[in-house]
């Protein structure tokens, strides 16, 4: 079954349309990855409305091509300009830029590209190998488990992201309440519409996604960055040496791969952490840590390997449980809904063809984008000379037009604006924007499963507490109390020491 | 570092409280099946907001610890990012974005998009060449997108849209 869908995905890519979408996605992904401020999240959100009405496999081919190439593009500017294209490339600047300054820019770019490519491809192999296991896990989920899974996602994402824990939970619950507007998923009667015809359909996904991820990003870009252009370092050095750097440090590569994959699989943590943790372990495990920060190629191998491994790791919770690993994955969940796929544990069970398409496209996206970067990196880096005031009007106008054309509903642009502003406020107060979008996507699913569980249990509430539900509840509780226990244990240990 | 961050947070939570109170008044109108889940989430939200305000006002130690619960403490800023965001700058950016939406509603995508590009680019670059280039680019893009999608583009409520 798995091999069958993988071969279908391959044959789909090797059509003229498939190849065109793949190349278009890679070019767009690399471009947006290189221009600081525009990552995969905003780009996929912006492209999403244009795919409305497409075949789902074609749409996911395009999304995966964009997703697979943005972080690769980000490493070019991190090395040549000391400005990471995406936040996931921040640690690459530490050794990438000094290497470029030493006249080894081509070697640094080749190191980044080759470690990204190998990191991505090996973690994809791991992901594909675990698909049967993930499918069997998703089969264990019934209505009460899906209900608890929704809350589990909110608590875990609130706990692992930086910023106020209570604030994050409040925003998660607030967004869940926003999903109640419109027709009730059980009775079909209107709810919380306050006499507005507009609210009968509830908050639509595209305005919410574009507002939260694209408009808020433009507001942020407009406020925080006035210009991007900096002096580009001349590209010199050997590409061959860059590839050798990765092969020479294979154990470091493997350790970074594991770190990236695991961090990616934990919902909400994000790429910056994977990037930095991999860099930190490279320094800690090195016999000569003093060379780091001065242009040591190991300082590029570790973060760049972790970066692409993290991208694949994020697919695990998103596709097997419906919990997004990052903002980009939250947008991808929105894409599932737009193309008629219900997010949750059943994505991997009922839509194996889409999962296979994502995995196979990523193989091509990782490989081709790395080759592009290796040989055309110096030219691509010039994209950063585009000023912010040229990007913002174009993206905002595309956003509003795309939102309008989905339903020909002009009020949707005000909803986009509203979510853009809320999204930006969340950025300022350090609350993850995933918490504003995810509950709106999964809210109706949680509610439907809650009511379904209530009607199945017929007064026997133990039905809500099966083994998986209890496991999820225990993890939620442990997540909240673990730091307190750890602190007490530390204090106790200190007093014994005294 | 950021002068309006704290106020922004409190204002956001207060707005959520008002919104929740409006929703609560609607709940009795609905059947048990339609009201039970929203009721539970609203109660949970109000408890959380109460705890948040309690934490802000009293600075209770255990609440502070719960609020600062995080497993990730990496917070790195891009060295080229502007550190300070002033209220004035924020208001101007919000007004620019709002004016585009209101403009589209009133006079349609072509006029509003063109005007927005002109004013926005002029405000940030003060360069007439840039302004002309960007305005033409935005108008061309609007035209191309209106060709890509099916159906008529929104002309604005003042020009017969709706």
Cα separation, A379 vs A76, in Å, equals 10
Interface contact flag, A393 B121, Cβ < 8 Å? yes
Minimum distance, in Å, between the CA of residue B112 and any CA atom of chain A: 9
Q: Which residues of A touch B95 (CB under 8 A)?
A: none
Same domain for A316 and A421?
A: yes
Identify which of A2-6, A360-364, B153-157 has the greatest average pLDDT.
A360-364
Best residue in B11, B39, B63, B80 for a mutation probing chain A (most A CBs within 10 Å): B80
pLDDT of B1 reads 42
Residue A467 CA to residue A54 CA, distance in Å, equals 40
Complete DSSP assignment for chain B: --TTHHHHHHHHHHHHHHHHHHHHHHGGGS-HHHHHHHHHHHHHHHHHHHHHHHHHHH--HHHHHHHT--S-------TTS-----HHHHHHHHHHHHHHHHHHHHHHHHHHHHHHHHHHHHHHH--HHHHHHHHHHHHHHHHHHHHHSSSPPP--GGGT--
Tokens of A139: 């089969």
**What are the backbone angles phi and psi of residue A108, rounded to the nearest 5°?**
-65, -45
Query: What residues contact A439, with CB distance under 8 A and at least 6 apart?
Result: A150, A154, A172, A173, A175, A176, A178, A179
With CB atoms and an 8 Å threshold, state whether B93 touches A223: yes
Element (H, E) at A289: none
Confidence of residue A235 (pLDDT cuts 50, 70, 90): low
A484 and A406 fall within a common domain: no
Mean pLDDT for A91-113 is: 86
- Cβ atoms A332, A67 nearer than 8 A: yes
Are A304 and A443 members of one domain? yes
Say how far apart CA B66 and CA B52 lie, in whole Å.
10
Taking CA–CA distances from A276, the nearest residue in chain B reads B74
pLDDT (tens digit per residue) in A323-335: 887 778 888 888 9
| Spatial separation of the C-alpha atoms in residues B17 and B38, rounded to whole Å | 14
Residue B129 forms contact with A (CB below 8 Å): no
Same domain, A369 and A481: no
Same domain, A450 and A496: no
CA gap A260, A249 in Å, rounded = 16
Query: Per-residue pLDDT averaged across A109-128, rounded?
Result: 91
Query: Which of the residues in chain B have pLDDT under 50?
Result: 1-3, 74-83
Name the residue among A47, A58, A55 with its Cα closest to residue A21. A58
Reported as a single tens digit per residue, the pLDDT across A472-484 is 899 888 888 877 7
What per-residue confidence (pLDDT) applies to A229?
Answer: 47
Measuring CA to CA, how many Å separate B93 from each of A43, A372, B81, B90, B120?
21, 36, 17, 5, 9
Q: What is the pLDDT of residues A363-405, one digit of tens each?
A: 999 999 988 888 887 677 777 667 778 888 998 998 899 888 8
Instruction: Report the percentage of chain A scoring pLDDT > 90.
Output: 24
Provide the pLDDT for residue B72: 55
| pLDDT score, position A427 | 86
- Identify the pLDDT of residue B113: 94
- Say what the pLDDT of residue B89 is: 81
Collapsed DSSP state (helix, strand, coil) of residue A182: strand
Distance, in Å, from the CA atom of A197 to the CA atom of A200, rounded to the nearest integer, reads 5
Concatenated DSSP letters for A320-334? HTS--SSHHHHHHHH
Query: With 80 as the cut, is the pLDDT of residue A138 above it?
Result: no
- Top-confidence range, A1-10, A96-105, A412-421, A442-451: A412-421
Q: Are residues A490 and A377 in the same domain?
A: no
- Strand A182-183 and strand A190-191: the pairing is antiparallel
Nearest residue, CB atoms, A273 vs list B65, B67, B72: B72
Say yes or no: A470 and A448 in one domain: no
Instruction: Say yes or no: A420 and A471 in one domain.
Output: no
Shared domain check, A383 and A284: yes
Distance from CA of B58 to the nearest CA of A (A): 15
Average pLDDT, chain A: 85
pLDDT tens for each residue of A191-206: 998 888 888 888 988 8
- Cα distances from A422 to residues A171, A294, A317, A320, B3, in angstroms, run 10, 41, 26, 29, 18
Pairwise CB contact (< 8 Å): B74 & A162? yes
- C-alpha distances in Å from residue B157, one per residue of A129, A277, A400, A410, B113: 56, 53, 16, 10, 15
Both tokens of A337, joined, read: 């809904």
d(C-alpha A347, C-alpha A56), whole Å: 13
Cβ partners under 8 Å of residue A16, min gap 6: none
Question: Which pLDDT value is given to residue A289?
Answer: 83
Q: Is A183 helix (H, G, I), strand (E, B) or coil?
A: strand
Same domain, A472 and A394: no
A387 interaction partners in chain B (CB closer than 8 Å):
124-125
Confidence category of residue A233, pLDDT binned at 50, 70, 90: low
Number of domains in chain A: 2
Alpha carbons A128 and A359: distance in angstroms, whole number: 7
Q: pLDDT band at residue A288, thresholds of 50, 70 and 90?
A: confident
Please give the pLDDT value at position A174.
95
Residues of A in contact with B38 (CB under 8 A): 177, 180, 191-192
A434 & A496 share domain:
no
Q: Do A225 and B12 touch (CB under 8 A)?
A: no
A36-84: per-residue pLDDT in tens?
Answer: 667 788 888 888 888 888 899 999 999 999 988 887 877 887 888 776 7
Pair (A410, A484) in one structural domain: no
- Average pLDDT rounded to a whole number, residues A175-187: 88
Per-residue pLDDT at A234 exceeds 70: no
Partners of B97 on chain A (C-beta within 8 Å) are 215, 218-219, 396, 417, 420-421
Q: Which residue of B has its CA nearest to A37?
A: B81
Work out the minimum CA distance from A390 to partner chain B, whole angstroms: 7
Residue ranges of B 28-47 with Cβ closer than 8 A to chain A: 30-31, 33-34, 36-38, 41-42, 44-45
Assign A93 to helix, strand or coil: helix
The mean per-residue pLDDT over the stretch A173-177 comes to 94
Q: Mean pLDDT lowest for which of A86-95, A450-459, B71-80, B129-138?
A: B71-80
A167 vs A85, residue with greater confidence: A167
Query: Containing domain of residue A80, as a range?
Result: 2-458
Q: What is the interface pTM, i.e. ipTM, of the complex?
A: 0.90
Provide the sign of the torsion angle of the four alpha carbons A435, B15, A477, A276, taken in this order: positive
């Amino acid at each position: 079954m798995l091999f069958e869908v993988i071969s279908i995905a391959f044959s789909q890519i090797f059509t003229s349309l498939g190849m065109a979408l793949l190349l278009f996605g890679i070019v767009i992904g690399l471009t947006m990855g290189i221009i600081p401020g525009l990552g995969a999240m905003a780009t996929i959100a912006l492209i999403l409305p244009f795919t409305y009405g497409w075949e789902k496999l074609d749409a996911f081919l395009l999304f995966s091509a964009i997703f697979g190439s943005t972080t690769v593009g980000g490493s070019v500017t991190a090395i040549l300009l000391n400005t990471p294209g995406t936040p996931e490339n921040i640690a690459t600047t530490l050794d990438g830029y000094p290497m470029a300054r030493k006249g080894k820019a081509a070697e640094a770019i080749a190191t980044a590209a080759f470690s990204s490519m190998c990191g991505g491809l090996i973690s994809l192999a791991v992901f594909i190998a675990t698909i049967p296991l993930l499918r069997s896990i998703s089969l264990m989920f019934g209505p009460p488990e899906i209900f608890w899974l929704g809350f589990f996602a909110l608590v875990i994402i609130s706990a692992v992201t930086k910023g106020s824990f209570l604030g994050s939970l409040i925003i998660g619950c607030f967004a869940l309440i926003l999903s109640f507007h419109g027709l009730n998923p059980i009775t079909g009667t209107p709810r919380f519409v306050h006499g507005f015809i507009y609210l009968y359909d509830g908050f639509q996904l595209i305005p919410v996604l574009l507002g939260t991820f694209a408009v808020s990003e433009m507001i942020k870009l407009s406020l925080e960055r006035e210009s991007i252009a900096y002096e580009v370092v001349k590209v010199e050095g050997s590409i061959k040496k860059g590839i050798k750097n990765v092969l020479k440090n294979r154990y470091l590569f493997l350790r970074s791969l594991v770190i990236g994959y695991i961090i990616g699989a934990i919902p909400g943590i994000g790429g910056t952490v994977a990037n930095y943790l991999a860099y930190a372990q490279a320094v800690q495990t090195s016999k000569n840590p003093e060379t780091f920060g001065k242009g040591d190629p190991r300082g590029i191998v570790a973060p760049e390997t972790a970066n692409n491994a993290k991208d694949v790791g994020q697919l695990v919770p998103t596709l097997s449980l419906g919990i997004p690993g990052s903002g980009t994955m939250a947008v991808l969940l929105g894409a599932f809904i737009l193309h008629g796929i219900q997010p949750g544990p059943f994505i991997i069970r009922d839509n194996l063809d889409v999962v296979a398409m994502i995995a196979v496209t990523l193989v091509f996206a990782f490989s081709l984008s790395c080759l592009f970067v290796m040989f055309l990196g110096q030219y691509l880096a010039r994209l950063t000379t585009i000023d912010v005031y040229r990007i913002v009007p174009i993206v905002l106008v595309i956003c509003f037009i795309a939102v309008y054309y989905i339903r020909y509903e002009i009020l949707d642009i005000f909803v986009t604006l509203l979510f853009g502003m809320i999204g930006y406020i969340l950025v300022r107060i350090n609350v993850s924007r995933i918490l504003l979008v995810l509950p709106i996507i999964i809210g109706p699913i949680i509610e439907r499963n809650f009511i379904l569980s209530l009607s199945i249990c017929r007064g026997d509430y133990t039905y809500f507490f099966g083994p998986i539900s209890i496991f999820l509840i225990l993890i939620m509780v442990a997540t909240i109390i673990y730091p307190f226990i750890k602190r007490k244990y530390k204090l106790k240990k200190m007093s014994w020491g005294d | 570092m950021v002068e309006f961050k704290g106020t922004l947070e409190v204002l956001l939570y207060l707005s959520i409280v008002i919104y929740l109170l409006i929703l609560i008044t609607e709940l009795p109108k609905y059947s048990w099946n339609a009201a039970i889940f929203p009721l539970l989430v609203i109660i949970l939200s109000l408890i959380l907001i109460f705890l948040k305000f309690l934490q802000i006002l009293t600075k209770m130690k255990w609440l502070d610890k719960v609020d600062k619960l995080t497993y990730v403490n990496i917070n790195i800023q891009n060295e080229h990012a502007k550190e300070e965001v002033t209220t004035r700058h924020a208001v101007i950016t919000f007004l620019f974005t709002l004016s585009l939406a209101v403009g589209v509603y009133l006079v349609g995508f072509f006029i509003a998009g063109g005007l927005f590009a002109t004013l926005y680019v002029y405000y940030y670059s003060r360069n007439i060449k840039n302004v002309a280039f960007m305005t033409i680019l935005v108008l061309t893009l609007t035209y191309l997108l209106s060709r890509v999608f099916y159906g008529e583009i929104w002309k604005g409520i003042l020009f017969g849209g709706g």
